[in-house]
Structure 1
Amino acid sequence: MDKYELFREHLRESAKEFRKIDKNGAVRVVSHLDCDGICACSILIKLLTSENRRYSISIVQQLSEEVLEELSKEDYNTFIFTDLGSAYFNSIKKLFHNKNFFILDHHEIEDKQASPYHINPNLFGIDGGKEISGAGVVYLFCSSLDKNIDMAHIAVIGAIGDVQEENGFQRLNRDILDIAVSGKKIEVKKGLRIFGAQTKPIHKVLEYCSDPYIPGVTGSESGVIQFLDQVGINPKTEKGWRKLIHLTEDEMKKLVTAIILKRSAEKNPEDVLGNVYTLIEEDKECPLRDAKEFSTLLNSCGRLNKASLGIGVCLNEEKSKRKAINNLNEYKKEIVKALKWHTENKDSDCIFKEKGLMIINAKDNIMPSMIGTIASILSRSNNIEEGTYIMSLARTEENTVKVSLRIASMSNIEDVDLRQIITEIIKKVGCGDSGGHPQAAGAIIPSEKEEEFIKIAKNMLRKNIM
């Protein structure tokens, strides 16, 4: 058997263990607050509901020894961790030794112990950072228990939310996508790889398009209007502003050609084209119609502490959808507010800058759940040199500091492991918890260690500047 067959066999063995658990007992579900974590939790909830099992959910920003200790004291006999837990396998095994537990995760792990209660593709040499999301792992697990579980499209959303789509998917994600397509949940077409096609006016989509960057257009409202005029596309009709989905086939061809020509000096001018994933059961011009916008909406729910709305959206609850779309507007306001603070304080002591390095200490000025989002946005900015490390920090109500680490867009990002870097910083500080992926990592540290952490981080990041 190859590694994929071994992984699927492991999933079947784990499913057999789960079937042994008494259905009368409630299941405690713990998941991550990002898009992938919400998708993973939702798929599991669909299964538990279909089996008439009772459950209780907690969505957390990050696991820690303290969180696990508190959970272990709760009066539940079965715990399931989704999109997190692998980094704490030994702690979970120790604290929950007299309980049933399952870890369904895809993050990298140091201690690769095989166990029917630990389901992680990395245990079988499969790259969980690229080939399958946390939601994908949960979907395969649930499919081993119920072949009719109709949630492959949600697993695809989780993978897109975890940035695993790059001109298509790799093996396991691709298998799940094929199920979603054959089930008529998702349609895949080649098109403009631009965010907001379903919901934003054409001129705004182009003005705010940073990935891919369009010279003379991105960031310039007047540049956009002039560009569209040259192409021969009227951005407005009597009914109002037009969106990308309103363009005729001929207009779209003209627009694509013009954008590629504008990008002729870029390394890959044609990478404006890519796969567009459409949720065909969702209404047109709705944020849930486009898979990337769907994933952003779920992220907004988690980041603003309304993960239950995101779960409701994944479970196709109309009331939750309406509320989540309103919540998305609040999320955008928080992003604007955070970016405004960053701009106003770029020359203050809160923001340290030197070649190849930027450290943003937002303290109490940005929500801790938003600090990673801001670091990600800045990492895609054309104003920051490629390869620059971006570390952001924000204080929590629990007397801790949330840390996020990103790197500004670079072609050889495969050579960088941010998770390893932040883990090494934590080790030098002597306390705290780290996690994430090679391209997007984070940590939680005690507030009293903030200054020491920043000092050590500066020194270690300087050594890693390429």
Structure 2
Amino acid sequence: MSDPVPAMAERAAACADRLRGADSVLLASHIDADGLTSGAIAATALDRAGIPFETTFEKQLDAAAIERIAATEHDVALFTDFGSGQLDDIVPHEERGEFTPVVADHHQPATAEEGAEPPDTDLHLNPLLFGIDGASALSGAGTTYVLARALERAGGDNRDLAALAVVGAVGDMQDTDGGLVGANENIVAEGVEHGVIDEVTDISLYGRQTRPLPKLLEYASELRIPGISGDERGSIRFLSELAVDLKLDGEWRRWVDLSFEERQTVASALMRHAIDRGVPPERVNSVTTTTYTLSAEEVGTELRDVSEFSTVLNATARYERADVGLAICLGYRDEALEQARSLLRNHRRNLSEGLEWVKTEGVTQEEHLQWFDAGTRIRETVVGIIAGMALGESGVRRDHPIIAFAEESAEELKVSSRGSGFLVRDGLDLSAVMSEAAAAVDGGGGGHDVAAGATIPQGRRDEFLEHADEIVGEQLAAGDETASQ
């Protein structure tokens, strides 16, 4: 058996051995696309290994969630796509004999005391412990896939789960620089070799499988082109002027319906149109990227393209229907897929309305960051997605991170933050920003350098912002100093 990430193989084997020795396992996972795919990978691997388990999903792994897990009868709890940031709260339950934690996560380990090392446990599988970037090189689903490979018994083969690992990585936005990199590439290679993933260079616009061509261009947020983006008539006019038959029986074809030559014709014309209207060449060149499709899924469906698949998953668990997302990941279709499509329509409507609200209300600019407070107008489970979509919109700067607030309860505010790759290269680490600023106001937070979140008490927003703005300023100043040396 080959190891997809050799540096993590020994730790993965230790985690797998503990799971095999369990009387029963409680599998707990996060609710986003990466968390759902992580949960599905773990559930499939546990089932194939003959290990009894029960599955639960949590919006956040706070003290109440951990107490609920401790109250179950399972002797082992497997945490996927979270747990590293809560080791200080999880490990004491092992010390009291309530359950043994096994963690497969990629988020920054956090500790109660600043500067302290995370609790020492051989059952903590995280790429960051092995010098692998958990924000860009290996997702929670990828980490869980490493564990799943270690769980293989003689004659078993979990390489088909590479498909879900890639969906999780793309859902976690780890393909934003032209494709998946680092340890993720090893997983892609195993999926391609096993015949479950196709990897090709193609146009990067979302909706290649499902959107009619005019809608594909009109809604393309990846490349805003004057006269086409947000302009239905402009999109139709552009396509109608091409010397390609882009309709079939009077209906617009989709990108997936086009031949290779037809795609080249449309893409080349689109690039020329963009350059003629002042779009910078580097932005135009980014319209082509490495794309991933799932070979076993039906052509022209939301599940064929990993980007659309991940969006379907986000539309389930973020609306309290993790069971639907898990069912789809486990291969169920029919009723589960119809439910997911209904949730997806609602999700898209909420995103559109939320983004429109941000554009109308605007954001508040601080010295080093910008922010908006949606209150109850935007659902707290999607406010982070909308914050990321808002970056680069009119009145929203791309050279400042954005912080979004939404009401989580009468007592708590949900905080979501998003940055960009170039800000991270300049020293930004939103995981540290969220963790430190939240701790200063008796809250908790963490995540990745480019995207992170927190929960803070109501009434302490302004104090939190003051700390966050100061921390971002210090990070970027330190980055500037390092770059000048």
Q: CA deviation at 1:464?
A: 6.0
Paired position in structure 1 for 2:113: none
1:129 correspondence with 2:135: yes
Give the structure-2-normalised TM-score.
0.87
Equivalent of 2:440, from 397, 403, 428?
Answer: 428
Paired position in structure 1 for 2:238: 227
1:307 correspondence with 2:316: no
Q: CA deviation at 1:259?
A: 2.2
Paired position in structure 2 for 1:326: 342
Paired position in structure 1 for 2:396: 384
Aligned mates of 1:118, 1:208 — CA distance in 2: 41
Q: CA deviation at 1:122?
A: 1.1
Q: CA deviation at 1:8?
A: 1.0
1:160 correspondence with 2:170: yes
Counterpart secondary structure, 1:250: helix
Q: CA deviation at 1:295?
A: 0.8
On the 8 A contact 2:35/2:168 being kept in 1, the answer is yes
1:313-352 mapped onto 2 (5 Å cutoff): 313-318=328-333, 319-346=335-362, 351-352=363-364
On the 8 A contact 1:189/1:275 being kept in 2, the answer is yes
Instruction: Name the stretch that deviates more: 160-169 or 148-157.
Output: 160-169
Superposed CA deviations along residues 13-64 of structure 1, whole A, max 9, x for unmatched, are: 2222222223xx3x21211111110000001111222244443322222222
Paired position in structure 2 for 1:109: 109
Q: CA deviation at 1:160?
A: 0.8
Aligned mates of 2:180, 2:467 — CA distance in 1: 37
Superposed CA deviations along residues 268-292 of structure 1, whole A, max 9, x for unmatched, are: 1322111121112211211001111
Paired position in structure 2 for 1:148: 157
Aligned pair in 2 of structure 1 residues 121, 335: CA closer, same or farther (>3 Å)?
Answer: same
Aligned pair in 2 of structure 1 residues 262, 113: CA closer, same or farther (>3 Å)?
Answer: farther
What amino acid does structure 2 have at the position aligned with 1:87? G
Superposed CA deviations along residues 333-376 of structure 1, whole A, max 9, x for unmatched, are: 22123223334433xxxx52467643211111111101111111
1:404-423 mapped onto 2 (5 Å cutoff): 404-407=416-419, 409=420, 411-415=422-426, 416-423=428-435
On the 8 A contact 1:106/1:120 being kept in 2, the answer is yes
Q: CA deviation at 1:398?
A: 6.3
Aligned mates of 1:157, 1:443 — CA distance in 2: 25
Aligned mates of 1:19, 1:313 — CA distance in 2: 26
1:275 correspondence with 2:290: yes
Aligned mates of 2:448, 2:39 — CA distance in 1: 19
On the 8 A contact 1:419/1:440 being kept in 2, the answer is yes
Counterpart secondary structure, 2:102: strand
On the 8 A contact 2:22/2:75 being kept in 1, the answer is no
Structure 2: which 5+ residue stretches go unaligned? 111-116, 478-485
Counterpart secondary structure, 2:227: coil
Counterpart secondary structure, 1:79: strand
Aligned mates of 1:113, 1:400 — CA distance in 2: 28
Aligned pair in 2 of structure 1 residues 357, 339: CA closer, same or farther (>3 Å)?
Answer: same
On the 8 A contact 1:301/1:310 being kept in 2, the answer is yes
Equivalent of 2:387, from 375, 398, 412?
Answer: 375
Aligned pair in 2 of structure 1 residues 294, 463: CA closer, same or farther (>3 Å)?
Answer: same
Aligned mates of 1:387, 1:152 — CA distance in 2: 35
Aligned pair in 2 of structure 1 residues 3, 417: CA closer, same or farther (>3 Å)?
Answer: farther
On the 8 A contact 2:26/2:55 being kept in 1, the answer is yes
Aligned mates of 1:182, 1:4 — CA distance in 2: 16
Aligned pair in 2 of structure 1 residues 355, 229: CA closer, same or farther (>3 Å)?
Answer: farther
What amino acid does structure 1 have at the position aligned with 2:455? I
On the 8 A contact 2:41/2:144 being kept in 1, the answer is yes
What amino acid does structure 1 have at the position aligned with 2:229? T
Q: CA deviation at 1:300?
A: 1.1
Instruction: Name the stretch that deviates more: 315-324 or 214-223.
Output: 214-223
Aligned mates of 2:68, 2:260 — CA distance in 1: 57
Q: CA deviation at 1:459?
A: 5.2
1:294 correspondence with 2:309: yes
**Percentage identity across aligned positions?**
29
Q: CA deviation at 1:463?
A: 6.0
1:197 correspondence with 2:208: yes
Aligned pair in 2 of structure 1 residues 123, 462: CA closer, same or farther (>3 Å)?
Answer: closer
Give the structure-1-normalised TM-score.
0.90
Paired position in structure 2 for 1:37: 35
Q: CA deviation at 1:444?
A: 0.7
Instruction: Name the stretch that deviates more: 323-332 or 208-217.
Output: 208-217
Instruction: Name the stretch that deviates more: 217-226 or 134-143.
Output: 217-226
Aligned mates of 2:73, 2:280 — CA distance in 1: 58
Aligned pair in 2 of structure 1 residues 450, 357: CA closer, same or farther (>3 Å)?
Answer: closer
Aligned mates of 2:139, 2:421 — CA distance in 1: 23
Paired position in structure 2 for 1:87: 85
Paired position in structure 2 for 1:7: 8
Structure 1: which 5+ residue stretches go unaligned? none
On the 8 A contact 1:14/1:117 being kept in 2, the answer is yes
Q: CA deviation at 1:234?
A: 5.2
Aligned pair in 2 of structure 1 residues 343, 214: CA closer, same or farther (>3 Å)?
Answer: closer
Instruction: Name the stretch that deviates more: 414-423 or 70-79.
Output: 70-79
